[in-house]
């Protein structure tokens, strides 16, 4: 039985403030480059106050990653095996692109963790992520076998969607530098990716 008392409103507010600050710091500097002092400064709280809620930088990081993993998997979970195959895949592309637009810091946090070898996410990658991707690969393969989409490798199709959508968050500075301030990369990307995947998936 869990005897931990519920958090007060102030405690919930401070935890959220710390996690928001940590997301900003980690997304900019990665785990290795970030410090508790930076997180405390970003949050506007003292370092001892921060340590009251999170005993270490790693605990803050793991808390963020755990929350992020659930958010990151949601768009793929929404792919409906009973829906129109091409439209379901295109909807997944759109949802992933929207996540890059709306949650760029979260995307960079995830990318930094993966680039460093995912030392704090290995279990989640090998279980939650792999399990869901394998389940959806079965759906994609069934659609291909039924002639509803082209015969493409389902795992590499998913990888390509990740690469082509998360790029806009993880390499935002590069995208903005090339396109300039007067173009909307996400509107253009959605139109381009819809055309690309529609042609790729045509049986």
118 compared with 151, residue with greater pLDDT: 151
Where residue 117 falls (left for φ over 0; alpha for ψ -120 to 50; beta otherwise) is left
Q: Give me the pLDDT at residue 5, please.
A: 59
Q: Look at residue 163 and tell me whether its pLDDT is greater than 90.
A: yes
Q: Give me the pLDDT at residue 3, please.
A: 54
Distance CA(122)–CA(202), nearest Å, equals 35
Q: Are 47 and 37 in contact (CB under 8 A)?
A: yes
Q: Give me the pLDDT at residue 66, please.
A: 85
Q: Where are the alpha helices (DSSP H) in the chain?
A: 9-33, 36-43, 47-53, 57-77, 85-102, 104-115, 122-124, 130-145, 154-170, 172-179, 185-201
Q: Give me the pLDDT at residue 30, please.
A: 86
Average pLDDT over residues 76-87: 97
Where residue 180 falls (left for φ over 0; alpha for ψ -120 to 50; beta otherwise) is left
Domains of the chain: 1-55 (1.10.10.60), 66-201 (1.10.357.10)
pTM for the structure as a whole: 0.85
Tell me the backbone φ, ψ of residue 157, rounded to 5 degrees: -65, -45
Average pLDDT over residues 124-142: 94
203 compared with 3, residue with greater pLDDT: 203
| 32-75 pLDDT tens trace | 899 999 999 999 999 999 999 999 999 999 999 888 888 889 99
Q: Which of 9-18, 62-71, 77-86, 149-158 has the lowest mean pLDDT?
A: 62-71
Average pLDDT over residues 16-41: 93
Where residue 143 falls (left for φ over 0; alpha for ψ -120 to 50; beta otherwise) is alpha
Q: Give me the pLDDT at residue 4, please.
A: 56
């Amino acid at each position: 039985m869990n005897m931990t008392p519920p958090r007060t409103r102030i405690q919930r507010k401070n935890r959220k403030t710390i996690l928001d600050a940590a997301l900003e710091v980690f997304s900019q500097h990665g785990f290795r480059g970030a410090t508790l002092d930076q997180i405390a400064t970003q949050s506007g709280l003292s370092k001892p106050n921060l340590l009251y809620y999170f005993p270490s930088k790693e605990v803050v990081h793991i808390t963020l990653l755990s929350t992020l993993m659930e958010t990151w998997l949601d768009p793929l979970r929404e792919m409906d095996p009973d829906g129109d195959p091409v439209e379901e895949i295109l909807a997944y592309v759109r949802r992933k692109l929207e996540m890059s637009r709306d949650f760029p810091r979260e995307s960079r946090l995830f990318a930094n963790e993966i680039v460093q070898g995912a030392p704090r996410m290995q279990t989640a990658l090998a279980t939650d992520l792999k399990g869901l991707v394998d389940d959806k690969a079965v759906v994609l393969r069934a659609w291909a076998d039924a002639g509803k989409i082209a015969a493409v490798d389902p795992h590499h199709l998913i990888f390509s969607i990740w690469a082509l959508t998360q790029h806009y968050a993880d390499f935002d500075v590069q995208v903005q530098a090339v396109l300039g301030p007067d173009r909307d990369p996400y509107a253009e990307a959605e139109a381009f990716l819809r055309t690309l995947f529609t042609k790729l998936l045509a049986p």
